[in-house]
Structure 1
Amino acid sequence: MGVEDLIAYQKAFDLAMEIFEVSKSFPKEECYSLTDQIRRCSRSVCANMSEAYRKRKYERHFISKLTDCDAENGETQTWLRFAFACEYISEEYYNSKLEKSKEIGKLINYMINNPGKFGCN
């Protein structure tokens, strides 16, 4: 089993790709701020989860990287709020992606609270 098999990873990857697609329509003046930030943090959820999974032999490292993952997921929610407030995304889109992000957060927290189920000693 690899990190790509984890439901949390799959959902986070899908959300990051959905955010990437919608962010293509953001104004050019947002290129180096909101657009860049929302893409980076949404992708970092998966990147940190990959690092955590590879460090699962060491429970503290695993949990530490997963807390980074959770933090990036929280940042993604914040940038989604900004995109909505700036009227770059619809309320329906915002609510949909926010719910996905909250579900990902629950999965990450399950991993944090149950490291033994993911190969930690």
Structure 2
Amino acid sequence: MIPNSIAYKKAFDLAVEIVKVYKNLTEDRKEFVMSKQLLKAGTSIGANLAEANGAISQADFSAKISISYKESLETKYWLDLLNTTHFLEQTLYDKLYQKADELSKILFSILKKTRIKQ
């Protein structure tokens, strides 16, 4: 996993958008709990991919990819909850959820390949 990989780029792009949503939710909507959880999960995906880049073994790499994958699933959960409770507009939710879902699929594919090699 290198910083210019597709997964890393998509994770970074999603993290930037999540930070903007967090800022809007806290400043304009005064929502602090769910938005903080979304911020943590949504930015953790790329952070764990960055750590995977420095993995010292195949097992370490696979573990970091696994964490990134789980964080992508958690991000989708918080997006669902924020949408259902009407804190996110449907179009914004659709856009972010699609990005998080695509990233989840990419990460799961990488995870399957790394687990098969072990």
| TM class, shorter-length | 0.7 to 0.9
CA–CA distance in structure 2, aligned partners of residues 93 and 61 of structure 1: 35
Q: Which runs of 5+ in 1 are unaligned?
A: none
Give the C-alpha shift of residue 97 in structure 1.
1.1
Corresponding residue of 1:65: 64
Structure 1 runs (4+) greater than 6 angstroms displaced: none
Q: Tell me, what secondary structure is at the counterpart of 1:79? A: helix
TM-score by length of 2: 0.85
Q: Which runs of 5+ in 2 are unaligned?
A: none
Give the RMSD, CA atoms, in angstroms: 2.0
TM-score by length of 1: 0.83
Give the C-alpha shift of residue 103 in structure 1.
0.9
Q: Identify the range of structure 1 (63-72 vs 105-114) with the bigger mean alpha-carbon deviation.
A: 105-114
Equivalent AA in structure 2 for residue 60 of structure 1: A
CA–CA distance in structure 1, aligned partners of residues 18 and 60 of structure 2: 28
Corresponding residue of 1:81: 80
Q: Map 1:84-95 onto structure 2 (within 5 A).
A: 84-95=83-94
> Do the aligned residues in 1 keep the contact of 2:18 with 2:43 (CA within 8 Å)?
no
- Count of aligned pairs between the two proteins: 114
CA–CA distance in structure 2, aligned partners of residues 43 and 25 of structure 1: 16
1:34 and 2:34 matched: yes
